A and B are shown apart, each in its own frame.
Chain A
Amino acid sequence: MTATYLDPNVLEPLALLPAAEADRHFDYCLEPYRPRRPWSGKLRAENLLWHSLLVARQRATWRALLEAVQRHVGKDLTVWGVKWDGERLWWELYFYDPRKESARATIASLTEALAPWLRLGPRVPETVPYMMFSFDLSAAASASGEVTALNLYLTGEQAHAGRSYRVTDAGAELENTYRFMEPKRNIDEVLPLIEASVFVDYSARERLKDVLFPVLFACKKVCISKKRDRDAIYFSGIAVDQLLWFLRRFAYPVPLVSFVERHQEQFEHLFFDVGIDYRTDASGRIVYPKTSYYGTL
């Protein structure tokens, strides 16, 4: 059964997709998890994606493409990210580990499948050992009908770590490195890795709280990432009340926050993942140039 939701802020209806017994639950690394609550009466995570598109008035632009992605890769097997820089929303789609979950989640296969809607520009030989790739659904991509950059993720030097490269027609360059850890159990590694930074000076120790947020510390995993011009931290396996805290903390558009508030109970069965980019500005304050939250489609 599909309920229709009329967003009071956007005044556009949205068909809410109910959770179903067949739903599979994955985090943003496509690791499966057991839902926190029984699924009945709940909503699928993808509603958050559709609603964010609605709020940004981009639903019509991307709808056919997203439905094609879902058909092609398989339900629940694509990770989406909603990105926010304080002014605008955009989206990223992540395709994981074709060997493990869906043989159709390769660059070659998706390039072909999505061709009617979007051209995936960069050529990447399938011999490159990527375990995942992603691309942005941005205003530029919708204007040109083309994605000019793909992000490739390769396994790193140690367990639960990796590197990502940005690939364009001009070539590939290292974009970031990252490592996953359990925040509490691995605290002796988490702290030094966070503090090994050229973008934030942690000699004032209370700084740590502006990166390792106590509300999000209670999560399954953190991912510490070092990017070209900033650091980032990801908290994965958080509950919907933590997601709400995050959306409010980073001042996401009001309609987006109220949607989650309104449907909080119906998202209680899910775990979410969020990411926070940060660095210090000229005055020494920590700023957050981009944040994001994730779910599956």
Chain B
Amino acid sequence: MHSYKGRFEPTRFEDLTVTVDFHCHSACRFCIVQEGMNRFKGVPFETFQRAVDDNQKELRYRRVTFTGGEVTLEARLFDYIRHARESGTFEHLRLQTNGRLLADMSFARRLVDAGIDEFFVSLHGHDAETQDYISQRPGSFDQAMRGMENLVSLGVCLMTNTVLTTLNQPHLAQIVETVRRFSPTRMEFWNYLPMEDHADERGLISPLAELGPSLRAALDRAEQLGIETAVKYVPRCVLGSHARAQDNTQPDVVIAEVFYDLYPKFSCLYEAKCEYAETCLGLHHAYIEKLGWEPELLVPYPRSTPWAEPEYGPWVGSDQPGRGSAPATDHPDWARLVAGVAERHGAQLAEVVLQRRACLFRFEQGDGGVDLVVTARSEAGPALARSRSFNVHYRNARGSDTDGLRPLVTDAVAAIVERDQGEMLLDQRKGLVGDQAVRTRPKRSGPPG
């Protein structure tokens, strides 16, 4: 089978991101949703309510992130926050914002009082000239800086987000200097992904030969200052000693389904040779189409295990080690495939993880366990068994008696083969809303009342 490296299937299972609306008072030159702003509306409150109500039953998500557009402009934001807080099911409520309205201390305090405890503030320039040029809004840098000052004085968790483009690439280390006085918990650097301007007519895609050294310098500086970093969509092999900062995980996103389809695809020439093929995305296609495959700049890490064409995306359970297993099974149709099996073997079905290309059943038995994975049926790949729709595999047998897992696996495989009527397709998307979220955006302006 074959696949792109681009895997935007949700992989951070404890995070839920909600796009409250898509309008904004800045006009960042790299904005990936500029066109989308005219097409998409946010998630209807009722849909959000349902997601939260589900979470009360399933305790699946520990954090909800409100994003946009610029979410602080959304009149109903506080309804969303209140509902999330009152559900009592989230440990953290996060706001992703350009920080401009946070310059108003009373507004910042209102958000904190409402329950937001994590602020993820975008800062794309190291100084007013650069930031305001990028946002096309004079004063936006000063507003964001005042906003961050306010957050510091309110004692909440502050993280920053910088989108990497040709516009700020020479100044990345200076951005670290700019925010150091706020002691952010974490700085994230997200490589620009063109979602509309695929030919990069705006000239924003930063060549790796220049981005690499500049980003490494910023990561060095952050490390010296004790600031945690995370980098998205930059090849791991260009991060040097900061390779571990690479984090391409995605939360579940409640967003218009079609929006998701706009995400670029990724490839790396050396995928089959690289130890990190499963987590590193390589280069996005717009990059390759403009600047090439970078066969010399990318250097695969020698693999320690044989490569196999990925059958499903990686999953990263938790940012809290040991608590990765969201109590599953909000996928009853899928859970039904193995219902009753665990009980027959004194085991437990701990989790059902449904991804685009795979569904994983995680069984626990004694001090160990095993994962059963079904992927779309294909004769091409090896499989333990094939049911009508699926290839069935097992993975990750663990514990002191892995041989003892055999009857469980055999039984589960037999159940899947028997119960799969050929109707289930592995390209399910969860947490998403459909066409009803697309519309022409009505004109709105001003901060929320």
- Chain A positions within 8 Å of B, measured between CB atoms, are 32-34, 36-38, 182, 184-185, 187-188, 191, 205-209, 212, 214-215, 217-220, 237-238
Contacts and interface: CB of A to CB of B under 8 A. Distances in A.
B273 interface: yes
Contacts of A238: 2
Contacts of B422: 38
A237 B3 CA distance: 11
Nearest to B296: A205
Contact of B309 (A184, A207, A214, A215): A184
B378 interface: yes
A203 B296 CA distance: 12
A237 B2 contact: yes
Given A209-B288, A214-B267, A184 B272 contact: yes
Contact of A37 (B285, B379, B425): B425
Contacts of B269: 187, 191, 212, 217
Contacts of A184: 271-272, 307, 309
Contacts of B285: 214-215
Interface in B269-288: 269-273, 283, 285, 288
B267 A32 contact: no
A218 B267 CA distance: 8
Contacts of B378: 33-34, 36
Contacts of A187: 269-270, 272-273
Contacts of A209: 288-289, 292-293
23 contacts: A32-B379, A33-B380, A34-B378, A38-B389, A185-B272, A185-B307, A187-B269, A187-B270, A205-B292, A206-B293, A209-B289, A209-B292, A214-B283, A214-B285, A214-B288, A214-B289, A215-B285, A218-B2, A218-B3, A218-B4, A219-B2, A220-B380, A237-B2
B446 interface: no
Nearest to A195: B295
Where chain B touches its partner, the secondary structure class is loop
B1 interface: yes
B339 interface: no
Contacts, number: 67
A34 B386 CA distance: 12
Most buried by A among B2, B269, B289, B389: B2
A160 to B, nearest CB: 15
Per CB-CB distance, the 9 closest pairs between chain A and chain B, nearest first, are A206-B292, A184-B272, A34-B379, A214-B288, A214-B285, A218-B2, A185-B272, A218-B4, A214-B267
B294 to A, nearest CB: 8
B377 interface: yes
Contacts of A208: 292-293, 295
B265 interface: yes
Contacts of A34: 377-380
A249 to B, nearest CB: 10
A225 to B, nearest CB: 20
A43 to B, nearest CB: 18
A212 B293 contact: yes
B262 interface: no
Nearest to A271: B2
Contacts of B272: 182, 184-185, 187
